[in-house]
Chains A and B, each alone.
Chain A
Amino acid sequence: MQCREFREIADSYLSNELMVETNHGVITHLEQCAECRQELKARRELRGQLREAFIKSPENQLRPEFAARLSTQLHDYSLGKRGAHLVSPRGWRSSVTRTQATWLALAACLLLAMGMGLVVVRKRLVESKAPGEIAVSKPKPNDSPELNPGIPVSIVKTELAKSAVGDHRDCAIKFRLAEKPIDLEVAGQKYDPVYLNLTKAVLSQQGAAPLDAQFVEAHSCIFEGRRFAHIVLKYHGQVVSFLVTDFEPTNGVQPESGPQVITCSQFDGYKVSCFQTARHAVFIVSELPEGDNLALARALAPSVFAHIMSTENET
């Protein structure tokens, strides 16, 4: 082993990341080379000094009062007092408390609205539908487009569904889109008026969805050159993407009076439900069980379908 080679791997040697054979080569070289022994000693000392200085740096120390409160909160939380997590450490910082309080208030209002919506919709369903029928229903066996040729499968057959999955994965899950997303309403003014008030249309339908479907954020992003309106929800602990993109059916199939929500094929383990309007395709992508993903899509579809169709007719 040459000195230059040794110095290339000396750090990995210190980190114990070398293979046994290479380790042996390093040791053999060190036995014969005083200069490399000195270099290794210097690097070891530098690393030790860096570690100690960083760890002992006053600014890297936890505040004792924060540590104490955190300990209490974790203890409460582990005992099942789930409300404990609502107390932010910022709670004792007056300048930030207001922001936190505002968000909490908004979240509370949203939950309240969702709860009231659920009550209203359930009441309507009980009045208008057969007993036992619920808004979020499990898919029927013939929901698969392959088994049901009468439904518009054009969006399933295209690459759009794959793009929707890619956008869900790279934007909502991995956060690694190359291009920064923009505000959905801004995108609505610039690119597609359907995006305007889309969030409201999605959230207004949540009364029919289970209460734990939570709104996370809305924006417009681009995946492989295709622009999407992207509304991120959390449902049953999973991130769900509600994606809308422009689409012209090539087979001339026109949507009927209501959305026909179907399950597309799976891509990379992600479940995709979709429906279309005259000029848009809508995808609901998640890692939920297929039935849950479809049920959620069906719960959200009616108001979104109405919103998109109404906007398409105006433009």
Chain B
Amino acid sequence: MPHVSSLFRVALWLTRDRAEAEDLLQETLMEALSSFHRFAQGTNCRAWLVSILYHMQSKRRRTAARLHLVSDAEERIAETTAFEPPTPQNLTDEEVLGALERLPRTFQEVVILADIEEMSYKEIASTLEVPVGTVMSRISRGRKLLRAELASYANAHGFGRTTQHQISEKEPLREP
């Protein structure tokens, strides 16, 4: 069954409950089968399925979906990441997943859809029903937050890249 593993990962992330995720996955695939005539040939089938999955989840959790907004606090946190340390290396899988888990959910969501499930910005925008610019902004902030989280962890534990200079808004590194 193509795409099922990918859909299940997204469903599990959305629901945070294995049984709920299995229900959601099943409903999504049933819905996809019954409305397959709506699938535009030549487009990304997995992105189409993820869109249905989000729609089904919204139907299941109408209230939660309504409240699915980026809080001002989260936006403010993200805005404070102008300083960007170099991307750390030599991290374990657990450390990377832990850092992802600590991101605000709004940013986790787009990082998962873009960097793990490899959906395009346009596909993510269509799935989340937000403008492409919003997706790009969230992804950019999400990735920065993730790197900052990992860099902070690496510094605290004394590993990671140390030869890189740091970037500040005022001082460009160099201009080749």
Contacts and interface: CB of A to CB of B under 8 A. Distances in A.
A3 interface: yes
Nearest to B165: A35
A178 B66 CA distance: 7
29 contacts: A3-B174, A3-B175, A15-B120, A38-B161, A38-B164, A42-B86, A42-B161, A43-B87, A45-B89, A46-B87, A46-B150, A49-B91, A50-B111, A51-B118, A55-B5, A55-B9, A57-B97, A60-B9, A63-B22, A66-B22, A70-B29, A74-B30, A77-B30, A85-B26, A85-B27, A90-B22, A174-B129, A176-B66, A178-B66
Interface residues on A, range: 35 or more
B174 A90 contact: no
- Please indicate which of the listed interface residues A1, A11, A181 has the most CB atoms of chain B within 10 Å of its own CB: A11
Interface in B59-82: 62-63, 65-67
Given A11-B143, A62-B8, A70-B22, 12 more contacts: A4-B167, A35-B165, A38-B161, A42-B86, A42-B88, A54-B112, A63-B18, A70-B29, A71-B1, A93-B19, A175-B66, A181-B63
Contacts of B129: 174, 176
Interface in B1-56: 1, 4-5, 8-9, 12, 18-19, 22-23, 25-27, 29-30, 33
Given A39-B164, A89-B22, A47 B88 contact: no
B8 A60 contact: yes
A56 B66 CA distance: 32
A150 B63 CA distance: 42
A217 interface: yes
B165 A89 contact: no
A59 interface: yes
A3 B97 contact: no
A59 B161 CA distance: 30
B26 A53 contact: no
Contacts of B161: 38, 42
Interface in B97-153: 97, 100, 111-112, 114-116, 118, 120-121, 129, 136, 139-140, 143, 146-147, 150
B58 interface: yes
B120 A85 contact: no
Interface residues of B, number: 59
A90 B29 CA distance: 16
B50 to A, nearest CB: 15
Given A3-B172, A46-B87, A57-B97, A70 B4 contact: yes
Question: DSSP majority for the B interface?
Answer: helix
A253 interface: no
A90 B27 CA distance: 12
Contacts of B9: 54-55, 60
Contacts of A17: 120-121
Nearest to B12: A60
Given A17-B121, A85-B30, A74 B1 contact: yes
A251 interface: no
Given A46-B147, A47-B115, A35 B164 contact: yes
Interface in A58-80: 59-63, 66-67, 70-71, 73-74, 77-78
A215 B64 CA distance: 20
Nearest to A36: B173
A280 interface: no
Interface string A193-236: 00000000000000000000000010000000000000000000
Contacts of A279: none
A3 B147 contact: no
A56 B139 CA distance: 22
Nearest to B1: A71
A45 to B, nearest CB: 6
Contacts of A47: 115
Nearest to B100: A50
A46 B96 contact: yes
A180 interface: yes
A88 B116 contact: no
A3 B129 CA distance: 33
Given A42-B88, A50-B115, A59-B12, A7 B167 contact: yes
A250 interface: no
